[in-house]
Amino acid sequence: MADIVILTGAGISAESGLGTFRDKDGLWTRFDLSKVATPEGFIENPALVHEFYNARRANAQESSPNAAHFALAEFEKRKSGDVLIVTQNVDDLHERAGSRNVLHMHGQLSQALCAACRATWTAPLVMTPEDRCPDCDAPSTRPDIVWFGEIPYHMEKIEDALSDCRLFAAIGTSGQVWPAAGFVEAARMVGAHCVELNLERSDVSDRFDEVRLGRATDIVPSWISGLV
């Protein structure tokens, strides 16, 4: 359980050089998400999908956590056991900043998945459609990413944590993708104080008690310092 649930999105990693999705030059303005982030797209052209995630994996590897990631890791250390980060991000910047209690509801670039036997393992930097599963040897490896139309990971743990949290924060997310966009409703239901920290108002800003606008590297450390 965690008293404090913090949902993060692509905006927290933007200042680390990782693209967001729906900003003016976001990933979905440059790539057709139906071709690179759906099971149907993967069946149609697995090489294109691997190419897309190989580029994102390399980008993530070359990037570093920023002040917002470090502030959250510091907060978790001070509030030992009471902070859960639920991230929509597939990079590992929270972990590299020192956060331990992190759930990746949309999967991770650092992991590979076998579509046949569901085995997972550490993904090589470059994946190809010819790779074979280390467990069942089927040529059916894919990035361990939750694509549109698939069920996000860890939903039971997330719903449990939301059901008794007293503070819920959403950082760097546009509130356009469900179920993450609905987490604030679950937190409000149990009377949690809800804070949104984002560069601009999101689709769900009016559901929050508090909205703090600005760049994550500015507003997250100052928000955290006001809590500890």
Catalytic entry in 69, 94, 106, 193? 106
70 sits near ligand APR (criterion: CB under 6 A): no
Question: Does residue 154 have an active-site annotation?
Answer: no
108 sits near ligand APR (criterion: CB under 6 A): no
CB of 136 to ligand APR, least distance (A): 27
Which strands, in side-by-side order, build the sheet including 102-104? Answer: 102-104, 83-87, 4-8, 167-171, 193-198, 210-213
Q: Which of 177, 193, 211, 212 binds ligand APR (CB under 6 A)?
A: 177
CB of 145 to ligand APR, least distance (A): 8
56 sits near ligand APR (criterion: CB under 6 A): no
Closer of 37 and 133 to ligand APR (Cβ): 37
106 sits near ligand APR (criterion: CB under 6 A): yes
Question: Where along the sequence are the contacts to ligand APR (CB under 6 A)?
Answer: 9-11, 14-15, 20-23, 26, 88, 106, 172-174, 176-177, 198-200, 202, 215-216
